[in-house]
Each structure stands twice: as C-alpha cells, then as structure tokens.
Structure 1
Amino acid sequence: MQDLTIIAATGTALPAPRQNRHYIAGAWVDSAGDTIDRLSPAHGVLVSRSADGTAADAEAAIAAARAAFDDGRWSRLSGRARAAVLLRVADLIEANVDDFALIETLETGKPISQARGEVAGAADLWRYAAALARTVQGDSHNALGEDMLAVVLKEPIGVVSIITPWNFPFWILGQKLPFALAAGCTCVVKPSEMTPSTTVMLCDLLAQAGLPAGVVNVVLGYGQTVGAVLTAHSQVDMVTFTGSTAVGKQITRTAGDTLKKVALELGGKNPQVIFPDADLASAADAVTFGTYFNAGQCCNAGSRIIVHEDIADDFVARVVALSRRVAFGDPLDPATQVGAIVTPEHAAKIDAAVQAAVAEGASVVLGGAALAVPGLGPQFYQPSVIRGVTPGMAIARDEVFGPVLTVLTFRTLDEAIALTNDATYGLSAGVWSENIHTCLAFARAAQAGTVWTNTWMDGFPEVTFGGMKQSGQGRELGRYGLEEFLEVKSLVMRVGRTRTPWVNGP
C-alpha cells in the first residue's frame, strides 16, 4: 500500500437489520417469494432483509397505480394541491436526514457525510418539483380565424415505472419521483435489490404527507422478475430507468412491444480537458474529486482526463499528490471521503480493468490494487491513476465505475475535442482554461449532455441533466424533467355554427 490516507474502523455500534416489505395501494405487503439479505460493503454485517418480489407483486402494484390514476385521486388535483403534498414530503425528509443517511451508508458503503448531503439535497429536489407542479401549462392558438380556437394541453402521461440504481438510491429517486408526481402521474418504484431501504422508508413519509394510497407503490426484488414486468406491462405508460447502458438497451427493446415512453440515464466515460492556461491547482482538485467521489461508482465520474502534453507530467503529479491525501476508510467516520466498493464482484471487475490496461501497455502511477482497511476488510479499492493510455485501450473507452483515473494527452483544441467525442457515451465533459473563447469552443463542440467549465459536477434542481449517444435519452431535473412526464393533447374548437357542410343538403 502506497502512503495513502486510511481511516480505520470506528467501532460504531450498528443498528439492528431492517425488515423491508412491498408498499402497494397504501399497505405494507409481504412477498410470496423469498427474502434478499443485504450485507454492509464496509462492515460485512446484515443491514436489511427485504421481500423478494414476484411477477404477481409487480402486477398488483401496477393495478394499484392504474386505479389511482384513472379515478383521478391525484391526476385531477390542482397543481396547488399536489405542490402542498410535495412540500410536506420535503419537510419530512429534512426532519429524518440522519436516519436515512445511516441506512444509506450501511447499504451502499458511501461516507456518512456524503449520504447526509444527498438526503438533505433530495429535499430540495422535492421542493423544486413542488414549484413546477403549479406551472404546468400549454399553448393557445387564436389566429386560426374568427370561428376557430385551439389549445394545446399538457396532461400527465399516466402510470410510470421508476427503476433506480444502487449508487445513489435516494438522490436518483428524487430526480424522478417528485417530478412524476408534480405532473400528476402515479408510480411503481423498484429500487435496486442491494439498496432498497431508503425507498421503503420514504413510503412512511409519503403517507404522513397526505399522498393518497396507490399513487406511489414500491415493489422490491430483482430486475429479471420485477423489473421485467414493470417494463413490459401494457398498463404502464412510461418507464424511467437509471443504470447500465446494457440494461437500458434491454428495457428499450422490451418497452417497444407496447410502444411506451422510455427515459434512460445510463453510463458515461466523462473527460476533463485541461489546457496549459488553466488554474492547475483548482483543476487538479476537481479531477481528484471527480475520480473518487462515491468511489468512482458514479455515472458522472470524471474517469478520464485529457491534458495538454506540455503540462501533463506536472498535472499528473499534482493529482497523485492529492490522491494520497484523500481519506479512504470507514464510511461511518465523518472524516472519510471514500468508502467501500458495493460488492466483492464489482471490486474484482474494477481490478480486472486495471490489470487489462497494464497488459495492454499502460502503467500504474498510483494504486491499482485492492485496499484492506484496518478493522473492516478488503472491500475497498486504492485510489488509482493510470498513464500511458492510448485511445483504443478498453480502459480509455469502457466505464470502469471505480476510483480509477486514466490519462490521455493532446496538443491542439481540435485534438482534444476529437478525443472527447471518440466515445460511445456522451453524458458529461469538462474543460479547464482561463480563455473564455477556448471554453466556449469546446463546450459547443463536445458531444455531452452537460459541459462544465472550470468546475466539475456542480448541479442544481433548476438545471436539466441527461446524456447523448449511449448515455441515455430524455432529461431529468429542470423544467425538462417535468416535461418528460407530460403528454401533449391538441384541442380544436369551432366557435358557433360556422362549419360548411361536407354533404350537400336536400
């Protein structure tokens, strides 16, 4: 182990395991199937035991959401009434940050300080969605002639299946669910089988806030059973999914049989481009953050840098020095910045990607191996920086989803743009330069849904998020995040008895 900053086990007493059940039509429901145990990635103890949903459980949840939508108990409420409920949910989330953050830390392995920030930040997403609930509007066309008037209405799309991932279970739910509810939709949510608890805990808050029964339903379990029903069922009008590109493609194929709408937020291989005139200290810090935030298990991870060859050695040295100071270790210590890898299998996959890069001729400047934290165990991975990477290498093109940074170099702006766009993904990109013309030229040419200039991963509820190419389709957050859950209907009206008969009278 190479002179790293490690935080050993704190010895904090852990709570008893949670027992998670489905939430269908406003009631807690045991599954006809088995249960799923979740062990803490960092501590190796049982965190939660959850119902393992069946197709019948998923169908019951869909039926509840369908009934709740069709009878208008939520979809026909005023925007003001829906907003009031969402605001109460936000208040309740803020009142329960510590409880939610603890279970999220134990299930995901992420640092407790990060989990607290994400849970508290999710409350702001609910508040912003509440504001949007009162702004749903269409268009009018009053220049069609004196005897015609047309209006374009925007209505809730219907029943929405929401399938969320394990890396940001509560935050990503907050990017989807409150916006669907603001639009007037009803929902069936399937969280990852590895991190279900905060989604289940939210159901109690929804009930306390006055959300009618059946408007939000939660079914636990695996994608092969529950997820398959939620994407294929004819009574589901839309699927929104965050996860891997491979699964997103499968969802698109399955949903195509019923031509339901699909919104996807998928993978990324996100570059940060550093020019010689950049503030190198700020850029190095942002690159370090972008690489190791959530242990690199983040679709927006800044997993590759494209640095000008004149400053490459100096810049990499800065990043390596900062990487040694990033605190890896017990997620329950507030000082910890990077926690555990989600599963042993995923840790092995990260390491395999690094070793394959070495076999292809890359060199490991830092890390490149598992990390054993005293008192906790081996389910951690060292901060890793890989040089000698060429554009054709797998590690330069494929999503590693771990604390691993790859380094490429460039000479000209055009070359930097070409390297940026030479990817199947197009989620986000960044550029570092004190020259605004350089930043604007890069931002306009980069094929990415978000381009950051002289920063990384700053986000706001008001600013839309989503990807190009194989990073997904559709958008979340901002006004566009609400629009995803609305259907457009044209209403054409004739004023008076002015229509010329088509059939001649007697």
Structure 2
Amino acid sequence: MISGAGAVPAPTDVFIAQHLINGAWVSSASGQTFDRFSPANGQLVTQAALGGEAEVEAAIAAARTAFDDRRWSDTSGKERATFLLKVADLIDANRSRIALYETMESGKPIAQAEAEIEGAADIWRFAASLARTIHGDSHNTLGPDMLGVVLKEPIGVVSMITPWNFPFLIVSQKLPFALAAGCTAVIKPSELTSATTVILGQLLIEAGLPAGVVNIVLGYGDPVGTNLTNHPDVDMVSFTGSTAVGKAIVAATSKTLKKVSLELGGKNPQVIFPDADLDEAADAIVFGIYFNAGQCCNSGSRIIVHHDIAAVLIQKIVELSRKVPFGDPLNPSTKVGAIISSQHQAKIDGYVKDAVKAGATVAIGGAPLTIDGMSGEFYQPTVVANVTKNMAIASEEVFGPVLSVLTFTTFDEALEIANGGDYGLSAGVWSQDISTCLKFARRVQAGTVWTNTWMDGFAELPFGGAKESGLGRELGHHGMDEYLETKTVQMRIGKTRSRWV
C-alpha cells in the first residue's frame, strides 16, 4: 500500500467555483454555496455556487439566444476547428492543474488523472478534424428539373449532464463534438466534481468562445438537472450516469420529444476460454477491475472463466491483486485511490457481504482498507469466487474494486451468462482462436467488444451501449452525428411542373 510520502503537494487554497452564464462568472442569486471535501483525506477542496431554477433559466436563455442568432452555427468549419485546436492546446498547457483538482475531488490517482487530461485534449483535436468534414448528400437522379439536397444542421441547444467518475474526460466526449456541429450548450457537472468543468470554462473563454455558446450551472440533480431535462427551450439532453436516472430522463423528455443521448451503466463480462494466455488475461482483468477503483462504467467487473482453468486463473489474479499499489491519490506511484464517498463505500461492502451470505467465497479482500496517514475512504482489492447467476453481485453494478467470478463449460453457456443481464455496454473475450473471438464478438450483446485486451480506447471509435446501457454513441464521427439534424431540400430548377388544377 502507498502512503502519502512523496506525494504531489495538495492545493493550499480552496477552489471557488461559480456559474458561467452568457460569458460571465456569476454567483447564485440565493447566495448559497456547497462544499466538496476530498474523499481521500477530508480536505476542503472546492466551494461552489449552488444553482437553482434562476440560474438554469438564465443559462438556457443565453444558449438559446446564442444559437438562434447564429453567432456560432454560422461560423465555418475551419473557424470551429481552429477554436477546438486552441482549446486542446490550452488543456495541455494546464494539464497539471486540471489533474490536481480532479484528483482532489474524485480521489483517483494523480498519474491516472494526468493521463485522462492528455486523452481529453486528443479528443478535442479529433473533434476539430470532424468540424471541417460535415456534409450532406445530393441527389441528381430525380428527373431533369429536380435536385435533391440533404443538409446536416446543428440540433440546437444541448443540456449536458456529466458524472463524478471521469468529469473532465466525459465532458470532453460531449462538448467538442457539439461545438463542431454548431450547437450551443448548458453543462451541469456532478456536485462532487465541479472544479475541472469550471476550469474548462475558463479555457473556453481564454480561447475566444462567444458569450452564451457554452454555459455551466453548478448544483444538484434536483433542481438543476431536472430543469435542464424538462425545459422546452432545450433541444437535446446528453447524459452520462446511472441507468435509473437515464430512464427518468427518457420519461421526462417524452413530454417534448427532445432528443436524448444516454451513456449508462454496465456489468461487463470477460469470457476466458481454456486456450487463452492466462498471464495476459490476468493482468488485463486486474487492470479492468481496479482502474479508477472500479468506479467505471466499463469496469471488467465479472469474469466468466472455463471451469477447467478457473482455479489457476483465480490464483494468478489474487497474486497480482496483492501487488497493485492502493493508496494516497497524490502519490505518483499509486494506481488505485479513494472511493468517492462513505455512502458508496458502504454500498460496495454490502454487495460483498450479501454475496458471502448467498454462498460465494472471498479469495482476497472484502473489507474497507486503511492507508497510513490517510483518513478517507478506501476499499481492499477484492475477488469474489463461486458466484452464481442468481446473486446480485453477478448482475448489478457494484462500481467498486470488486471482481465477480463465474464459470462455464460450453461456449453457449458462456454466451448465455454474458448476455443474461440488463446491461450491454462492453464485453471481452480471451482465446488464441480468432474464430472463437469473432463468433463471440458477433453474438454478445454489447456496444464494444475487446478481444484479448481490455478497455483500450480511441477517439476515432464510437462508444455506447446496448439494452439498458444507453442510447446513442459518443466519439468517432458517430459522436458528432448525435448533434446533427437531417434536413431534406427539394429544388425544382425548371418550369416543367405539371399543373394540378
């Protein structure tokens, strides 16, 4: 375990976060604020303005005006691309500061945070490349006097509601694509991790974004998120978070039929066949379950391993689990940091205890973890074996460093277990037989399938889920398509129209 020795210095000042509305930083009309304390050591990190209905109304009005007067959507693809590239450069220049506040608020390791900020800058650059490639179609085969044109236009005002586990990365999977498309936006970051979204707002202003194009409202899901979802002047809602909240958003937006894009939960399986490279698989499994302390929608939280190799693989995973550096998030050597809150820590522990009561066995871990010199929330690396399909830990999202192990004997049984839950975000398969990998990839119900690897990601490839893991896609050119509306224009170019009367 990693203590605080050798850690990056924590910030000495409290970060003061305000709303960004129509190009200005403002406090709440009520004067109220809320505090965020580090989940690793209890330090006060951020004091943020507590938004309400007044701030939401003002932000949406600013975004609506900015879209309707076309101050952004009338810019050329070249101008949008140039702006997005400038933001990417500013993100790189401020990487250490952004990563520090992300670590302080979320409890994730500083090295991981810096890598995520670097990845976010790359996404902004990729979105910039798309800004210059938006195009529709033309149809020149409709007759000698008719031309059909299909246009791609920005959908309008977008509400973006982002989660606490990857606050800067996930807003960067949404906002640059919306801006590339010509949309305006209102963003609500999680109340647990507001600081880095506010820093992004500062960089947008520094890069020269016109007032009102991007607005930020801080606060809780109710009333801020609720009003951003229900408001008639919002054309689209892009949400990342829990499946339960995603369903509520779909129900709420049905009143106005606004577009919804949802990236929700996952209970992602990895199926390990007997011919797999078990050393490679074990390393990837350990990474997949402990990355971000398992607080990740793509967490490889359950493995489905062939009965003949289960004992050997579990032993390899346990041995590697003992070597993973859990500890102080500000220490560059740490790979697994703090749990986001004491309430979430209790939820994780409850899943493990319930599984044991149901007959599962804990191969390692299974309890909160104490780190020398740290007063925050940490949980042990945990592997739960002898899990059966009917246990909650086999199908529900634990969102912690807890791996569930199930076994199978035939391909069809493995596929049935993998597809048996409500989620369909991602899946993995381990085999040296490419036919086995392709057969599984084509039949598993998931938005992303990894073969002989886990959780690689590229800005060029779309990301999203099937079933109750969401609607729509982020990243890739599909990520920008979400923010575009299709319009058909039919042009008569001659005077040969036959008269109806």
Asked if TM exceeds 0.5, the reply is yes
What does residue 163 of structure 1 align with?
Answer: 161
Corresponding residue for residue 7 of structure 1: 3
Is residue 262–residue 471 contact of structure 2 (8 Å, CA) maintained in 1?
A: yes
Taking the aligned partners of 1:168 and 1:78, their CA distance within structure 2 comes to: 31
Separation in 2, partners of 1:456, 1:44 = 33
Q: In structure 2, what is the Cα distance between the partners aligned to 1:133 and 1:29? A: 31
Name the counterpart of 2:272.
274
1:339-418 correspondence to structure 2 within 5 Å: 339-418=337-416
2: CA distance between counterparts of 1:259 and 1:397? 31
Q: How does 1:109-188 map to 2 (within 5 A)?
A: 109-188=107-186
> Structure 2 counterpart of 1:352, which letter?
G
Counterpart secondary structure, 2:378: strand
1:10 deviates by 4.8
- One-letter amino acid of the counterpart of residue 155, structure 2: I
Look up the match of 1:76: 74
- Is residue 26 from structure 1 mapped to residue 23 from structure 2 by the alignment? yes
Q: Kindly indicate whether the alpha-carbon contact (under 8 Å) linking 2:267 and 2:300 is maintained by their aligned counterparts in 1.
A: yes
2: CA distance between counterparts of 1:473 and 1:202?
26
How far apart, CA to CA, are the structure 2 residues paired with 1:191 and 1:377? Answer: 26
Secondary structure, counterpart of 2:174 in structure 1: helix
Q: Distance in 1 between matches of 2:395 and 2:438?
A: 25
CA apart distance, 1:14? 2.3
Q: Which residue of 2 aligns with 1:451?
A: 449
Aligned to 2:426: 428
The letter for the 1-side match of 2:199 is: M
Contact 2:161-2:188 at 8 Å conserved across structures: yes
Q: Distance in 1 between matches of 2:174 and 2:8?
A: 33
Which deviations, in whole Å up to 9, do the C-alpha atoms of 1:144-171 show, x marking residues without a partner? 1111110110000000000000000000
Match of 1:103 in 2: 101
Distance 1:361 1:32 in 2: 54
| Alignment counterpart, residue 213 of structure 1, candidates 191, 211, 214 | 211
1:245 to 231, 243, 246: 243
Assess if the C-alpha contact under 8 Å between 1:9 and 1:373 holds in 2: no
Query: Is 1:235 paired with 2:254?
Result: no
How high is the TM-score relative to the length of structure 2?
0.99
Q: Distance in 1 between matches of 2:41 and 2:101?
A: 13
Render the CA deviation track for 1:153-193: whole Å, top value 9, x for unaligned.
00000000000000000000010000000000000000000
Match of 1:465 in 2: 463
What is the distance in 2 between the residues matched to 1:389 and 1:442? 22
Separation in 2, partners of 1:76, 1:163 = 26
Distance 1:230 1:9 in 2: 43
State how far apart, in whole Å, the 2-side matches of 1:74 and 1:378 are: 44
Q: 3-state DSSP class of the match of 2:429? A: strand
Q: What is the DSSP-based 3-state SS (H/G/I as helix, E as strand, rest coil) of the residue aligned with 1:61? A: helix
Q: By how many angstroms is 1:126 displaced?
A: 0.3
Q: Which sections of structure 1, spanning at least 5 residues, go unmatched?
A: none
Tell me the matched-pair count.
499
* Counterpart amino acid of residue 27 in structure 1: A
- Once the two structures are superposed, the pairs formed by residues 268-347 of structure 1 within 5 Å of their partners are 268-347=266-345
Displacement of 1:42: 0.5
The letter for the 2-side match of 1:297 is: Q
Give the partner amino acid of 2:116.
Answer: E
Distance in 2 between residues matched to 1:255 and 1:7, nearest whole Å: 47
Q: Which runs of 5+ in 2 are unaligned?
A: none
- Conserved 8 A contact 1:58-1:230: yes
Q: One-letter code of the match for 2:455?
A: M
SS of the aligned residue for 1:377 comes to: coil
Q: Are residues 1:495 and 2:498 paired?
A: no
Query: Contact 2:101/2:195 (CA < 8 Å) preserved in 1?
Result: yes
1:226-252 Cα offsets, whole Å, 9 max, x none, are: 001100000000000000000000111
Matched to 2:3, the amino acid is I
Give RMSD over aligned pairs.
Answer: 0.8
TM-superposed CA distance for 1:361, in Å, is 0.9
Kindly state the Cα deviation for residue 378 of structure 1 after the two structures are TM-superposed: 4.6
Divergent runs of 4+, >3 A: 5-13
State the alpha-carbon separation in 2 of the partners of residues 121 and 403 from structure 1: 23
SS for the counterpart of 1:102 is helix
Deviations 1:272-313 (A, max 9, x none): 111111111110000000000000000000000000100000
Asked whether the equivalents of residues 303 and 405 of structure 2 are also in contact (C-alpha less than 8 Å), the reply is yes
| Equivalent-residue separation in structure 2 for 1:209 and 1:136 (angstroms) | 22
Deviations 1:370-407 (A, max 9, x none): 00111102510000000110011100000000000000
Deviations 1:443-467, CA, capped at 9 Å, x for gaps: 0000000000000000000000000
Q: Report percent identity of matched pairs.
A: 65
CA–CA distance in 2 between the matches of 1:71 and 1:6?
54
**Amino acid paired to 1:26:** G
